[in-house]
A and B are shown apart, each in its own frame.
Chain A
Amino acid sequence: MANFTPISAAIGGALIGLAAVMLMRLNGRIAGITGIFAGLIEAQSTDWSWRATFVVGLVAAPLSAALIGYTVPIPQMPPSLAMIAVAGLLVGFGTRLSNGCTSGHGVCGIARLSPRSIIATGIFMAAAVIVVALTRHVVGG
């Protein structure tokens, strides 16, 4: 397990949890990125501003990290732009249909012990594991 980084994973995970708890204590909202972002592009004018600033904060984080000397890597993406587009469509449609993603169901939902979120997380994890097994070990090799 040469790639395992338990310390930074634990610190980063705790920060994600802290952000989720703060958003509830300050604004009374679930820190689900899908819900926050979808509300933004579907332009529900009444609560647009807090969603927009959350996204700005999210994007500002790696920029601030770069400013203080961290390396922010360009993400490794598959070469096929068609595959990227299909993946994006699946993620967008799927997270709206199931009402949550890794943050909303995986963190906030399971933290509330919501059966819906536990089921959702089990299913999207399993589906992703199967797709990675197929693309890395069966098709691509």
Chain B
Amino acid sequence: MRALASLFCGFIFGWGLFISGMIRPDKVLGFLDVLAIPSGNWDPSLAVVMAAALAVTGLGYALARRRAPLFEAQNQWPTQTVIDRPLVVGSALFGMGWGLVGLCPGPAIENLATLSPPVIIFVVAMAAGMVAYRLWEARAAASAERALATATATDG
């Protein structure tokens, strides 16, 4: 049931990106190109998409807070609250990649439906970036552990 439910949610999400035009990198770049405002060629659509999505999600989440989901024991709300360096640096790196091509993860994956080779290259690179993060994180954790072990040994 969970798999079927999320199939449906993914489908609706995909239709939302499609209808809004956010599946198209040129339309997203048309929003990000704020220097086009004076010439009248700026496309504010993305702001309307976000506003509508936020209105529905904000209201829906407020109602969802008080009840358990249908196919799971409880809602899994994110728990992190600290604004740290990974958040800031990661967001900046993501924004740079987004600005270069106009694709963020949702539309990138959805555009695989077109079998366009440049899109496939983008998604493979994106997956590689995610795997690279995982490897980097594991190494960072291991070296932190070593540093701690060394410190403990020296102390003791």
Given contacts A37-B109, A61-B110, A92-B129, contact A28 B72 (CB under 8 A): yes
Contact B126 A92 (CB under 8 A): yes
Q: Which of B14, B42, B90 is close to A94, meaning CB atoms less than 8 Å apart?
A: B90
Q: Mark A19-44, 1 if CB is under 8 A from B, else 0.
A: 11111111111110110011001100
Is B60 within 8 A of A27, CB to CB?
no
Task: Give the secondary structure class of A's interface.
Answer: helix
**B124 interface contact, C-beta 8 A:** yes
* Complex CA distance for A130 and B97, rounded to whole angstroms: 11
From B16, B26, B103, contact of A91 by CB (8 A): B103
B100 to A131, Cβ gap below 8 A?
Answer: yes
Let me know if B113 and A17 touch, CB within 8 A.
no
**B78 / chain A contacts, CB cutoff of 8 Å:** 30, 99, 109, 112, 114
Choose from B6, B68, B100, B134 the contact partner of A50 (Cβ within 8 Å): B6
Assess the B11–A41 pair: CB atoms within 8 A. no
The reply to whether A132 and B18 contact each other, CB–CB distance below 8 Å, is no
How many residues of chain A get a CB closer than 8 Å to chain B's CBs? 110
Give bound CA distance, A59 to B17, whole Å.
11
* Complex: A58 Cα to B13 Cα, angstroms: 7
Query: 1/0 per residue A90-134: CB within 8 Å of B?
Result: 111111111101110111111110111001110111111111110
B109–A33 contact, CB under 8 A?
yes
CB within 8 Å: A-B pair count: 481
Q: Are B45 and A9 in contact (CB under 8 A)?
A: yes
- Chain B residue with minimal CB distance to A90? B97
Nearest chain B residue, comparing its CB with the CB of A128: B99
**B21 with A93: CB separation less than 8 A:** no
Say yes or no: B43 contacts A3, CB within 8 Å: yes
List residues of chain B with CB within 8 A of the CB of A90: 93-94, 96-97, 100, 129
Top-6 shortest CB links A-B? A92-B129, A12-B20, A61-B14, A88-B125, A127-B95, A57-B10
User: Which residues of A are at the interface with B, using a C-beta cutoff of 8 A?
Assistant: 1-6, 8-31, 33-34, 37-38, 41-42, 49-65, 70, 72-78, 81, 83-99, 101-103, 105-112, 114-116, 119-121, 123-133, 135-137
